[in-house]
Structure 1
Amino acid sequence: MTTRTAIPLVLLALLGTAFFTLFAGYVPDAELNRTAAYYANQTVAETGAQNVVTAIIVTYRGLDTLGEVTVLFLTAAIVGLVLAHSKAPKGRSGSGFLPSGELLTTGTRMLVPVILLFGAYVFVNGHLTPGGGFQGGAIVASGLLLMLLADPAERFSHGLISRIESSAGLTYVILGLLGMILAGGFLDNRILPLGTFGSILSAGAIPLIYILIGLKVGAEFSSILTSLEETEDAE
């Protein structure tokens, strides 16, 4: 056995041993810790949201969510910057793309509106059902990906995508600051009435926050996809 083969095997054995040790010694907690118990008992009363998990993410852990969307924004910016300065080989242009098949083109025309509507449904109803801004934004971006697959020569406005992303991000931060001024902390959803529990207009500002997150995430993913497609087109 060569050294090149032995090293991965040793690392795999060490990793397997570590996971086995953790699994063999795992003992589930008999009861929730103090923080988890507070979330479980108080989230519905304080936020008015039916979906406890998403309510925690967007209110109690709102700063974490802000950090996550910031990381995604930086990723999209870096991808665009790197690809914009990359030197593509010559000999191919956008006119060299083969036309898409009729099945893909027709399917895209039928499915994209449904995908966009479903993405909007996911982030608008994040306080009621599983989902939220990140999931809905990714679904919206998948509609754009399908459009690029159906028509590789398609061009989307970077300016429009940038304006949607920046406006959603700025409004998100403003809502967070309003929570500090008018309620109990950053992104406190009680800046708006909690409404009737279980209805679409409930949970205070959570639906509005999720709409902003969905638009921001969708725009950031779309920016990455557009940058990648344009680089491939230039090759």
Structure 2
Amino acid sequence: MTRNWLIAGLLALLGVAFLTLAAGYAPDPALNRTADYYAQNVAQDIGAQNVVTAIIITWRGLDTLGEVTVLFLTAAIVGLVLAQSKAPKGASGSGFLPSGELLTTGTRMLIPLIALLGAYVLANGHLSPGGGFQGGAILASGVLLLLLADPARRFGHGLIAWIESVSGLLYVLIGLAGMAFAGGFLDNGFLPLGRFGAMLSAGAIPLISVLIGLKVGAEFSSILESLEETEDA
């Protein structure tokens, strides 16, 4: 009973806090100087229709590099820790229950659509909502669905590591190319900006977005594969 009252009290405090924030919220009448600069200069300087993607990939490129590095370290730590907890070979049987026909058939139908959606989000990140992180997460959700439909399925860690490493290396090289031939690290201006709003526009941003998506998708897939192998053990 005490525990229930404690939980109810915490929920009430959270409710009061959120209500206070909502009641006191007032939108700014105008953008601050930084946001106004971004809004006014993205089209001219970056050539991207999606302001958010342009900021994340170019002006905040170092932050994005740090984020994908943190995700890589997370995947590596998860793989290392779970590898130590696996049971010896032959210690247990397969232990896999057969997947239902609905899940198996649904997976066959959905995987091509998931891959297509992920590719679309990656390729159009500079034009519409989306980009590398979102597209990579969508692709990794397809890997998760495959593992759920067929628990015995295994993806080669070597292939996943190769995709992650090559995409990360190319990402850094493009960033250095921006320093050498444009205005700074991950400056997309070393490639032609093209026509605003066209598929081939915004300089190197589409290429950078695809590389981020492949790297993020590979890292998420590596985590999922490590978790699945641990369940097998």
Taking structure 1 as the reference length, what is the TM-score of the superposition?
A: 0.90
Report the Cα distance in structure 2 between the residues aligned to 1:93 and 1:164, rounded to whole angstroms: 32
> Hey, what does 1:179 align to over in structure 2?
178
1:54 pairs with 2:59: no
Q: Which amino acid aligns with 1:62?
A: G
> Hey, what does 1:31 align to over in structure 2?
30
Q: CA deviation at 1:60?
A: 1.1
Q: CA deviation at 1:6?
A: 6.0
Q: CA deviation at 1:21?
A: 3.8
1:170 pairs with 2:169: yes
Matched ranges for 1:1-235 at <5 A: 2=2, 8=7, 11-88=10-87, 92-94=92-94, 96-234=95-233
Q: What secondary structure, in the 3-state scheme, does the structure 2 residue paired with 1:228 have?
A: helix
| Identical positions, percent | 75
Report the Cα distance in structure 2 between the residues aligned to 1:122 and 1:214, rounded to whole angstroms: 9
Deviation string 1:76-109 (CA, Å, 9 cap, x unpaired) is 1111111000154986333x31222333223322
Report the Cα distance in structure 1 between the residues aligned to 2:86 and 2:209, rounded to whole angstroms: 38
Report the Cα distance in structure 2 between the residues aligned to 1:196 and 1:19, rounded to whole angstroms: 45
CA contact (8 A) 2:178 2:185 kept: yes
Uncovered stretches (5+) of structure 1, i.e. residues with no partner: none
- More off after superposition, 20-29 vs 212-221: 20-29
Report the Cα distance in structure 2 between the residues aligned to 1:130 and 1:138, rounded to whole angstroms: 14
Report the Cα distance in structure 2 between the residues aligned to 1:145 and 1:17, rounded to whole angstroms: 38
Q: Which amino acid aligns with 2:198?
A: S
Deviation string 1:165-219 (CA, Å, 9 cap, x unpaired) is 0111111111111112211111111010001111111000000000000100100
Q: What secondary structure, in the 3-state scheme, does the structure 1 residue paired with 2:21 have?
A: helix
Q: Which amino acid aligns with 1:92?
A: S
Calculate the aligned-residue CA RMSD, in Å: 2.0
Taking structure 2 as the reference length, what is the TM-score of the superposition?
A: 0.91
Deviation string 1:131-151 (CA, Å, 9 cap, x unpaired) is 111111111111111111121
CA contact (8 A) 2:124 2:199 kept: yes
Would you say how many aligned residue pairs link Structure 1 and Structure 2? 232
